[in-house]
Each structure stands twice: as C-alpha cells, then as structure tokens.
Amino acid sequence: MIKKLFNQMLLTQVLSTMTVTLCMLIDSIMIGRFLGVDSMSAYGFSTPLLLVFAALGAMISAGIQVVCGKTVGRGDREGTDSCFSVSVFLIVVIAVVGMALILIFLRPLTTLLGAGKPGADNPVFDLTKDYIIGFILGAPAFLAAQIMVPYLQLGGCRTRLVVAVLAMTITDVVLDLLNVLVFHGGTLGMGLASSISYYVAFFIGIGYFLRKDCLFHFRRGLLQKEMGLQMLGSGMPSIINQVSTVLLVFLLNHILMGLAGSTGVAAYSVLTTVSNICFCVGAGIGAVALTLSALFYADQDRTSLHEVIRVMTRNCLLLCLPLTVLVLVAARPLVTLFLGSNVDAKELAVSGVRLFSLTLLVSTLNTSLKNYYLGTGRVRLSELISGLQNFCMPALFALLLSRLFGINGVWLCFVFGETVTLLLISLMVWRRKKRVTISTEAYSLLDDDFGAAPDKIFERVVETEADCVDISRAVCDFCEARGLDDRTSTLVGLCIEEMTLNIVTHGFTKDNRAHNVDVRLVLGDDANVIRIRDNCRHFDPTNYLELHQTLDPIAHIGIRMVMAMVREATYVNPLGLNNLTLVL
C-alpha cells in the first residue's frame, strides 16, 4: 500500500511544488524572449527576494507536514486544529509585514539586490524595481498557496491540487502573453501576471476548507505559542535550505559579474529557472517522504519507515536518470526558449545546464534523505544537510573552481557540492553502523529501541475474503505462541476478522479500483493494539453506530461486537486512507 500511496501522492506533489516554479519559469521564458537581456538580468536580481518569501512559506509548510502529520496520525483533532490555526495566523502576519517593509524600502532594497543605483544609464534598476512591485502584490496568495499544499495532501484532495496548479499555469501564460503582446507592461506586468495566477490557485484551493468534512478548522482559542514554536522548529531545515540558496545566488551573481558581466548573470538566471523546474521532481519525492515519515514515525511503525526509504530511493533512480538524459540532450533548445538569439549568453547557459543535469540524481537523494530525517525527528541532521547541500559545499567549490576553469568552474560547483554532501551523509551512516553499507535499515537511522520489538509485531496484507479468515487463524497462533491466553488470542483474531471482512465486503465493491487492507498488531505490556488501514472510500466505524441506531439486535452486529470488546477506538483519515486503531 505504501508504494501505491507514494506514487499517487508523488504526481500531485510534483505538480503542487511547481506552483512557485512554474510562474518563475513562464516569466523567465517571456522576459528572455520578449523583453531582452536587461530585463532578464533584472529578473535574476529579483530572484533572491522571491526565494526569501518562498523560504518563509516553505518553512511553515514543512512545519505543517511534520507537526500536523503527527497530530493527524495520532487522531489528535485539537492538535490538528491548533496547527492549522497557527499556520494561518503566521501566513497573514508574514504577508502583511513583508508587503509593508518592501514597499517602504523598495529603492534601497533594489540596490541591495545588486541592481545598482537609479539613473538614466542603468535601466536594470527600474526594471528590477517594477518586477518586485508586481510580485509583492501577490505575496498573500503566494504564501497561502504554499501552506495549502500539505493540508490538501493530508486531506486526500489530490485532484483539487492538480486543478489549482493547472489553472494557475494557464492564467500566468495567458496574462504574460497579453502583457508582452497587447499591454506592453514590461517587468511590472510580468510580476502582476504571476500575482494574479497565485490568487487563482488560492481561490480554487480554499474551497476544500469551506467544506463540512474538512479535517482542519480555524479556532482562535487554539492559537498557542507552543504550537507555533514547534512548527517553526520543525520547519527550520527548510528555512536554512532557502536562505542558503539565497546566499548562494548572491555569491554566484557576484562571481559571474566579475567573470562575464550581466551576460553571465543572465545565463545563471536561465540555469536557475531550469534547475528549479527539474528539482520539482526531487522536491516532490522529498515532500512525500516527509509527510509519510512523520505519519509512520508517530505510529512507531519501523516496517513502514523502511518501506518509505525503499520506495523513495527507487523513485529517485527511475525518475532522475531519464530526466538527466533529457536535459543533456535538450539543453540548447531549452536555453533558446529563454535567450533567443543572444549568442554569448546562450553558450554560457547551455554549458551550465548540461553540467547541472549531472547533479539531478544525487541532489534528489540528498533532498529525500534530508526530509525523511526531518520527519523522523532528526531536525539537527536535516539542518546540517540543508546548509551543506545548498551553500557550504557549492560555495566552496565555486570559489575554488572558478579560479581554475572560469565560468565552467562555477557550473561545476553544483556537481561537486551535491556529491560531497551525499558522501558526508554516507560516512555518518557508516560510522554509526561501523561498516560500509547501503541498506535501508542503515540509512533509516532508527534507534534500536524505536517502536515495539520485532517479535511482538504481526503484519499482514488482506486482499480477499479468504484472507480475512486466514489472518484470524494466523493472529491467534501468533498470540498463543507469545504467551497470551486462549480467550485473549481469540478476541484479537475475532476483532481483526470482523473488521477486515467488513472492509472487503463493503469497501472493495464501491468502485473499480484495486484495494487492500494493511493489518498490524502490536503486543504490549499494558495493552494490545490493532491498527487496520485501507484505501477504500471514507468510512468511520467509531461513529457509524451513532448515525445508524436501530432496535434490530443483529443489525451491524460485527461492528457493535468489536466496539464492545475494545477499550479505545480511534479513527483518522489522513491522505485519503481509513486508519482505525483498536486498543484491547
């Protein structure tokens, strides 16, 4: 089920990751093709500011994935609502304060970004300033769209995510074309087009939060400082990631200005945009790994966490190797989309894009491991990887290699930086395991005492009615072999048989999709816990009897019997999956 769920989430996560990147890509193409090198340089100088806002949104989004993933996984509805309320409050504050500060200090900020001082001989200054104005007006929707993504994923609204991204993309393309061909609004019009497209995505996404069955509710009484600190702490690796990226852009722009002037900066702007769209694959894999690892870590499910690493690594290989070949082959036509007939900038950018493509697989592995470690509570390790991957290693190699190979040395910094980062992660894993290994268990970095002992856990997949009977017998044998009395062993087997048979009989026949049920039993000192997870339509057995009261003594007898036998029953529906936990 994890493999299937991972793949289902991956497509929508990659597309939703593009909510920022697609607009940047479209703007880059339109600016490069229609507005010239000066405008392209202005866009490059504006990029760090866009990345700062993206960093703040990504920090809160990552915090949501970690904190809300755990509260949803535990069935903590108050904690889930608190996380949602605090995240909405933070986004509003960041948007209002950020817009005010940028508009007040717009001119010195434009100079600080590298666009120089205002003057008739420096058109790049005004072009940069205009783009910033156009973009900042869409900051509230830009930020809101980022935090909507994890909530829509957790709520199982993958189709709505796809629709929002497609609508945003189409809107941006249409408005950009109108700007360059009809209104001639320059870089200001480009920024406004992006802002409007963000609002389109926002209004599509917000429809879920107005539904009665929405998992998340804003409650002012749950605006807790502790929750905010917890979210920001969990999102800190993301902010380090983005801030590192901003610092690296500053450094490389400075090096390139010294080597090739604005032509070099324009080439780097193209490379940045191409890399952003390609990294959506890696970011998507990493985001899914983060969400699933947080859920399964809260459930102390070692087996599922190992499976998450296996599936994410497999996706890294299957997706990144073909993408690398595609970018190598298509580098020149890709660059031509942005720079048209500007020969000098094109040649520099083609070389950069080809060298960059060699980093795709390694970078995706680094990002996926970093997010997995964040989801499993290793925040400091995730922060370290973020700093190494996005600034320390590439900056070091850029300073060294640019002296030896010029601009190609700048492009090579990405290859060496990502490779050395992965090597450092592996060295840490090997030191911990005291041997060289590439096993899933080693890279999971789970403590030996994490979760229940393996001999206390029973796991099985149910796909047919016959499986329901077989698993009941197997569970009884499992319990008796571990010292449980006949009565307890029979009750455990009966609970599992009744609930799985109910799911297979009524859930598997509701549509034409393939379904299965994951059953997990954990024997503990204080209680025995059954977790039943299925990918059928939404069904909450804990409140089913309240909604379907009847005087018939045999109606719904299976569910009634199970609920009478258990001490506690908890139901949650994260990611569109039914999760029922029974404590005997």
- 160, 204 contact by CB (below 8 A): yes
Q: Identify whether residues 94 and 33 lie together within a single domain.
A: yes
Q: State how many domains the chain has.
A: 2
Helices (H) and strands (E) in the chain, counts: 21, 5
Would you give the distance in Å from CA 108 to the centre of its chain? Answer: 34
Distance spanning both ends of the chain, measured CA to CA: 25
Instruction: Give the dihedral of Cα atoms 483, 487, 489, 492; nearest 10 deg.
Output: -140
Q: Does residue 541 fall inside a structural domain?
A: yes
The upper half-sphere exposure of residue 37, i.e. CA atoms within 13 Å in the direction of its Cβ, equals 17
Q: Which ranges constitute the DSSP H helices of 376-446? A: 379-387, 393-405, 407-433, 440-444
- Tell whether 569 and 544 lie within a shared domain: yes
Evaluate whether residue 12 is within a structural domain: no
> What whole-number distance in Å separates Cα of residue 308 and Cα of residue 3?
8
Which of 11, 577, 9, 581 has its CA nearest to residue 291? 9
Contacts of 434 (CB under 8 A, 6+ apart): none
Is the separation of the CB atoms in 319 and 10 below 8 Å? no
- Is the residue at 576 inside a domain? yes
Q: Which DSSP helix (H) or strand (E) runs through 187? A: helix 186-209
Asked if residue 161 lies in contact with residue 15, where contact means CB atoms within 8 angstroms, the answer is yes
The reply to whether 296 and 428 lie within a common domain is: yes
What's the rounded Cα separation, in Å, for the pair 115 and 385? 31
Backbone angles phi, psi at 522, to 5 degrees: -120, 120
Indicate whether 59 and 24 sit together in one domain. Answer: yes
Q: What is the pLDDT of residue 547?
A: 45
- In the three-class reduction of DSSP (H, G, I as helix; E, B as strand; rest coil), residue 121 is classed as coil
Same domain, 402 and 487: no
Query: Taking the alpha carbons of 353, 364, 272, 173 in that order, is the dihedral positive or negative?
Result: positive
For residues 405 and 503, state if they share a domain. no
The per-residue pLDDT for range 77-128, each reduced to its tens digit, is: 888 889 999 999 999 999 999 999 999 998 888 888 877 788 878 888 888 8
CATH of residue 511: 3.30.565.10
What pLDDT is attached to residue 22?
A: 66
Which string of b and e fits 515-543 if b means at least 16 CB within 10 Å? bbbbbbbbbeeeebbbbbbbbbeebebbe
H-run or E-run covering 174: helix 158-178
Dig out the tokens for 251 from the structure.
């450094």
For residue 532, give the 3-state DSSP assignment. strand
User: Which DSSP state fits 450?
Assistant: S
Could you give phi then psi for residue 374, rounded to 5 degrees? Answer: -65, -45
8 to each of 11, 153, 195, 335, 504, how far by Cα in Å?
Answer: 6, 11, 29, 32, 21
For the whole model, what pTM was predicted? Answer: 0.75
Residue 282's identity, in one-letter code, is G
- 130: in domain: yes
Same domain, 395 and 415: yes
- 352 DSSP β-pair partners: none
11 occurs within a structural domain: no
Instruction: Please answer whether residues 288 and 13 qualify as being in contact, where contact means their C-beta atoms are separated by less than 8 angstroms.
Output: yes
Q: Are residues 554 and 462 in the same domain?
A: yes
- Number of residues assigned to the chain: 584
Strands 528-534 and 457-462: unpaired
Q: Are 102 and 136 in contact (CB under 8 A)?
A: yes
Closest CA to 429 of 390, 395, 392, 385: 385
Q: What is the C-alpha to C-alpha distance for residues 184 and 187, in angstroms, rounded to an integer?
A: 9
Same domain, 313 and 387: yes
Determine the pLDDT at residue 551: 45
Note whether residue 77 is domain-resident: yes
pLDDT of residue 373: 92
Q: What is the pLDDT of residues 325-334, one digit of tens each?
A: 999 998 888 8
Give 324: exposed, middle or buried? Use CB within 10 Å, 0-12, 13-18, 19+: middle
- Domain stops at, among 414, 442, 470: 442
| Residue at 289 is within a domain | yes
Domain interval for residue 144: 19-442
Provide the edge-to-edge strand list for the sheet that holds 568-572. Answer: 457-462, 517-523, 528-534, 578-583, 568-572
Query: Last residue of a domain, which of 378, 412, 442?
Result: 442
Residue 529, classed as helix, strand or coil, is strand
Q: Are residues 534 and 555 located together in one domain of the fold?
A: yes
Task: Evaluate whether residue 567 is within a structural domain.
Answer: yes
- Structure confidence at residue 21 (pLDDT): 67
Residues 311 and 223 in one domain: yes
Single out the residue of 291, 293, 282 nearest to residue 324, CA to CA.
282
Return contacts of 339-347, CB within 8 angstroms, 24+ apart: 339/32, 339/37, 339/40, 339/266, 339/267, 339/270, 340/32, 340/33, 342/37, 342/263, 342/266, 344/260, 344/263, 345/37, 345/40, 345/263, 345/266, 345/267, 345/270, 346/267
220 burial level (CB within 10 Å; 0-12, 13-18, 19+)? exposed
Last residue within a domain, chosen from 442, 475, 500: 442
124 plus 253 within the same structural domain: yes
Q: At what angle do helices 379-387 and 225-298 cross, to 10 degrees?
A: 100
Q: Which residues of the chain fall below pLDDT 70?
A: 16, 18-25, 340-342, 510-512, 544-560
